[in-house]
Amino acid sequence: MKLFTNIGCLAQIRDADENIIRGSKMNDLPSIEKAWLAVKNGLILDFGAMSDLDRSAYTGFQEISIGNRLVLPTWVDSHTHLVFASWRAQEFEDRINGLTYEEIANRGGGILNSAKAIALASEDELFEAAMQRLDQLIKMGTGAIEIKSGYGLDLDAEMKMLRVINRIKAETQVPVKATFLGAHAFPSAYKGREQAYVDYVINDMIPAVAEAQLADYIDVFCEKGYFNIAQTEAIMDAGAAHGLKSKIHVNQFNAFGGVKACVERNAISVDHLEELNNEDVDSLVGSATIPVALPSCSFFLSIPYTPAKKLMDADLPLALASDYNPGSTPSGNMNFVVSLACIKMNMTPNAAINAATINAAAAMEISHEVGSITVGKKASFMVFEQGANTSFIPYSFGRNTISDVYINGEKYSQ
Ligand code: NIG
Ligand code: FE
């Protein structure tokens, strides 16, 4: 049991029924200046203003002074490809030398490159490497994470990736959601008979993944040259028939009706949205599907940023995630994601913080556990360096302004 006192500012405090923040309300970040926070069994027991603290109610609690610094709930990263076998720095050079991400993929690089490496890697190797990356992310403030398969592209290798993700889920201290992304790219062996791969995903992979209970969600890379609308719909429907809700890669390079198809199928989230037209926005209005922006991917590939203002003007919520993967986003640093959202997407620091905490928790259905300072949620929070306020965090891009990360009430160090 711990009593954290002298918190300079305790930000992102919410009632338990506040799970998603929309439109202009994203510009508000409720907080208490000069606050305390009590923790029991790793959960938030209570919090309030120092002026109202009744210490006699907390006898037996270890008191820890936060030294007048800013406290925020840990970041929630609702979209990553954390499990991979090797980096793809050669493609980075190829792009500098003039090739596009799509041209590299068409030459058999890209996702297929990662699939070759996964086939050769052991489960232990994949697990160790991903746990090491996750350790680095937690030190940078990530307190919950979604992880996708999608570099297997055949049943055995996809199952191998999902087993690794589930092992991470069992062993790490932060909440993890596992997403099956068998429909990430067409393996070269299926060139010219792409529908046969879609049938394989539907008839063989989805039933096996569901039977083994290895996935929380299903994902598809819905994009020109990858999975078209009809194929995406068929895979989402097959997933739904096996109890898998969807989170879909859509509108990364082209807006061609994918968002509407996802909304009609009650996708939990639609992720990327760098290309977004009015019909896409209209289809999201009134739905429960959460738009997710991945600005580090836009930065790294030099593609447009998700139009946050367009979404927020329609009173929609927006979440932010890293998209950490070896091809389009070799960084899972959520502090940088929040900086980019402010610098490149013109989001206010408060809006970006809401997008990377409470809305991101909703985008992976863990609002009851993380995403805000709320009684009963996990006591997972970041303590920032002396003098930092909420705008100083994104302003200080590229530098870690976090002094300490607490996960379930314990200082994180590994
Ligand atoms: O979200 N767009 C599809 N999938 C990943 C990239 C995967 C890769 O290049 O390895 C993404 O950007
Ligand atoms: Fe992705």
Distance 81 CA to ligand 2 centre (A): 6
Percent of all residues in the chain with a pLDDT value above 90, rounded to a whole number: 98
C-beta of 216 in contact with ligand 1 (< 6 A): no
Q: Is the pLDDT of residue 106 over 90?
A: no
Q: Which atom belonging to ligand 1 lies closest to the Cα atom of 271?
A: 1
pLDDT tens-digit profile of 195-251?
999 999 999 999 999 999 999 999 999 999 999 999 999 999 999 999 999 999 999
| pLDDT tens profile 375-399 | 999 999 999 999 999 999 999 999 9
Fold type of domain 76-362: TIM Barrel (3.20.20)
DSSP of 39-100: EETTEEEEEEEGGG--GGGGTTPEEEE-TT-EEEEPEEE-------S---HHHHHHHHTT--
Using CA atoms, how far apart are residues 401 and 176, in angstroms rounded to an integer?
25
Return phi, psi of residue 62, to 5°. -80, 125
pLDDT in tens, 396-410: 999 999 999 999 999
Of 221, 409, 200, which is closest to residue 323 (Cα–Cα)? 221
Q: Return the ligand number nearest the Cα of 86.
A: 1
Mean pLDDT of the chain: 97
Write out pLDDT tens, residues 218-227.
Answer: 999 999 999 9
Q: Which atom of ligand 1 is nearest to the CA of 105?
A: 9
Which pLDDT score is estimated for 108?
A: 83
pLDDT at residue 414 greater than cutoff 70 = no
Q: Point out the ligand 1 atom lying closest to the alpha carbon of residue 325.
A: 10
Q: Give the start-to-end residue ranges of the domains of the chain.
A: 2-73+372-411, 76-362
Task: Report pLDDT digits (tens) over 133-170.
Answer: 999 999 999 999 999 999 999 999 999 999 999 999 99
Tell me how far the alpha carbon of residue 331 lies from the centroid of ligand 1, in angstroms.
13
> 2-73+372-411 with 76-362: one CATH topology?
no
Question: Would you say 130 and 82 are in contact if contact means Cβ atoms under 8 Å apart?
Answer: yes
Query: Among all ligands shown, which has an atom nearest to the Cα of 105?
Result: 1
How far is it, in rounded angstroms, from Cα 25 to Cα 254? Answer: 29
Nearest CA, atom 3, ligand 1: 221
At the top level of CATH, the class of 2-73+372-411 is mainly beta
pTM: 0.98
Q: Of 77, 81, 186, which is best to mutate to test ligand 1, by the most ligand atoms within 8 angstroms of its C-beta?
A: 81
Question: What angle do helix axes 155-171 and 111-120 make, rounded to 10 degrees?
Answer: 80
88 lines ligand 1 (CB under 6 A): no
